[in-house]
Amino acid sequence: MFGFQYYTPTQVVFGKGTESKVAELIRTYGGTKVLIHYGGGSVVRSGLLKKVTDTLDAAGIAYVTLGGAVPNPRLGLVYQGIELCRKEGVDFLLAVGGGSAIDSAKAIGYGMANEGDVWDFYDYKRKATGCLPLGVILTIAATGSEMSDSSVITKEEGLVKRGYSSDYGRPKFAIMNPELTMTLPDYQTACGCTDILMHTLERYFTNGGNMEITDALAEGLLRTVMKNAEILARDPQNYDARAEVMWAGSLSHNGLTGCGNDGGDWMTHKLEHELGGLYDVAHGAGLAALWGSWARYVCGDCLPRFRQFAVNVMGIAPEGTDEEIALKGIEALEDFFRRIHMPTNLRELGVNATEEDLATMAHKCAVGVNGAKGSAKLLREEDMLAIFRASR
């Protein structure tokens, strides 16, 4: 068991109609001029953006708006946002949307609170010493960015997708109304559920110390998300299932399911970020397409955890060798992905990668992790390439 710090300063306001509290919350955290940042237009079509601007108008809070954060959000829009905020004297950021709008807002916040090029943080050249305060109205349960310290941005030049983590970037508040997720396409709901599972799985498959209480929370979360993801695949308007998944999304990436371990593995994410950068795939689908190949590659080096996962999470009978039980657990999670219409390899993801593409991704991934990374198994460039090849 390792020591840990658990820091979750975000005020969570959860339930039906909670978006009506947005003006009050912005005031509580000192916002007087707001940048409302959103994605490609779903919040315009759903009427949520209008609701938010009406609420701010009624409260007399000034704002400017900037849409256009795409999935795998781009650095160019971040620069545009920083310029707009400087020109308009913005002192508070409000992201209305999913991980992409939130991450883009976090990057704008770093750019506002620090001198120099904001990409330096994502390029691991230096650390931020602050971030403009940020609030969130969440519209998709997925990344956990509404409570996480992380932000992932893609630089157009070279298609480099990188994450930066800092406690300064944790939102001040997160408004979570599960009803707002009911307009999601089924594919995005399933992508979100996959990402939520993966944030806990990355922390679960380790060779470091573990805590029984953390395992119990993690295993409960995984079972709950799988159960409710299947309910949503049949009945997307089910409020209770939306609520279970939404809260799980935040808990899965705010640090709770990793307390006492060695920091986690995170290699499925690192490999997926290369796919997202190069092919612009949806993050959750990319994770599902890679996970089985990663799991089979590392399983032998992390057998006790894979066995425990198979029995406690996937309900596999503890009969046969540890290897057999572990493999059945991996197959059972892949079956689950198929049931919610997620891909389990690159072909199903719609990615037709050449050998050269795979080598490029493995190389960029190795550079991004400074040579090697992984707790279930330490992976170097040749291992990364082998996993990409197996996932074709």
The footprint of ligand NZQ (CB under 6 A) covers: 39-43, 71-73, 97-101, 103, 139-140, 142-145, 148, 150-152, 180-181, 183-184, 188, 192, 195, 253, 269, 276, 283
**Cβ proximity of 224 and 216 under 8 Å:** no
Taking CB positions, which residue lies at the least distance from Zn ion? 195
Residue 180 CB, nearest approach to ligand NZQ (Å): 5
CB closer to ligand NZQ, 181 vs 312: 181
Site string for Zn ion, 171-210 (x = CB under 5 A): ------------------------x---------------
Residue 66 CB, nearest approach to ligand NZQ (Å): 13
Number of residues that bind Zn ion (CB under 5 A): 1
Residue 208 CB, nearest approach to Zn ion (Å): 20
Buried-state track 44-78, b at ≥16 Cβ within 10 A, e below 16: eeeebbebbbebbeeeebebbbbbbbebbbbbebb
- Helix (H, G, I), strand (E, B), or coil: what is residue 79? helix
Q: Kindly tell me the burial class for residue 386, based on how many C-beta atoms sit within 10 Å of its own C-beta (0-12, 13-18, 19 or more).
A: middle
User: Pick from Zn ion, ligand NZQ, none: which does 152 bind, CB < 5 to 8 A by kind?
Assistant: ligand NZQ
CB closer to ligand NZQ, 264 vs 292: 264
Looking at residue 130, its amino acid is G
CB closer to Zn ion, 114 vs 250: 250
| Chain-centre distance for alpha carbon 273 | 11
CA distance 310 to 281: 28
Residue 276 CB, nearest approach to ligand NZQ (Å): 6
User: Pick from Zn ion, ligand NZQ, none: which does 147 bind, CB < 5 to 8 A by kind?
Assistant: none
Residue 146 CB, nearest approach to Zn ion (Å): 13
Nearest to 384 by CA among 279, 266, 282: 266
Residue 341 CB, nearest approach to ligand NZQ (Å): 16
CB closer to ligand NZQ, 269 vs 328: 269
DSSP string, 345-367: SHHHHT----HHHHHHHHHHHHH
- Helix (H, G, I), strand (E, B), or coil: what is residue 147? coil
Strand partners for 296:
none
Tokens of 340: 């919610």
User: Pick from Zn ion, ligand NZQ, none: which does 258 bind, CB < 5 to 8 A by kind?
Assistant: none
Looking at residue 346, its amino acid is L
- Residue length, the chain? 392
CB closer to ligand NZQ, 77 vs 184: 184
CA distance 236 to 383: 39
Residue 136 CB, nearest approach to Zn ion (Å): 16
CB closer to ligand NZQ, 244 vs 316: 244
CB closer to ligand NZQ, 141 vs 310: 141
CA distance 34 to 93: 6
Q: Which residues bind Zn ion (CB under 5 A)?
A: 195
